[in-house]
């Protein structure tokens, strides 16, 4: 059991937390990282165009361009919701977009969202 003293709105509370498992209780400062402010672009390319991959699991909230539309590099093409936050997924290059997902679809990490050719 680890005890902590927490102050909330000027009131002090003593809290006991039971340790579970063998995980370290303190994360070294070098390992702690701030979450990215925008969704990263995950891109893989092949002979048929650039694949736009999802960087994390989420819900396809909205498609921002029509199927077959011409897009420019870094133009938002869809909105991916993760952890109640909307994240714009952008085109990795200029080209014509072909979606591999539909609005409302749940996707896992590294799923192909679209192909830009």
**Is 116:91 a contact under the CB 8 Å cutoff?**
yes
Chain CA centroid to CA 89, Å: 9
pLDDT at 27 over 60: no
**Is 91:51 a contact under the CB 8 Å cutoff?**
no
- What pLDDT score was predicted for residue 38? 44
Q: Please give the CATH number for the structural domain made up of 42-116.
A: 2.40.50.100
Q: What is the mean pLDDT of the chain?
A: 81
**Is 101:111 a contact under the CB 8 Å cutoff?**
yes
Point out which residues pair with 44 in neighbouring strands: 51
Between 31-40, 42-51, 89-98, the lowest mean confidence (pLDDT) is in 31-40
**Is 73:98 a contact under the CB 8 Å cutoff?**
no
Residue 51 DSSP label: E
Residue 100 DSSP label: S
pLDDT tens digit string along 54-101?
Answer: 999 999 999 999 999 999 999 999 999 999 999 999 999 999 999 999
Point out which residues pair with 46 in neighbouring strands: 49
- Domain boundaries along the sequence of the chain: 42-116
- What pLDDT score was predicted for residue 25? 53
Residue 62 DSSP label: E
**Cα gap 116→52, rounded to integer Å:** 8
């Amino acid at each position: 059991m680890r005890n902590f003293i927490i102050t909330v709105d000027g009131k002090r509370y003593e809290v006991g937390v039971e340790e579970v498992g063998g995980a370290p209780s303190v994360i070294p400062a070098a390992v702690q990282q701030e979450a990215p402010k925008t969704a990263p672009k995950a891109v893989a390319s092949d002979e048929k165009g650039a694949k736009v991959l999802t960087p994390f699991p989420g819900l396809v909230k909205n498609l921002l361009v029509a199927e077959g539309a011409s897009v420019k590099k870094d133009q938002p093409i869809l909105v991916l919701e993760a952890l109640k936050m909307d994240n714009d997924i952008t085109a990795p290059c200029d080209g014509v977009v072909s979606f591999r997902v539909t609005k409302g679809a749940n996707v896992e990490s590294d799923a192909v969202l679209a192909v830009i050719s």
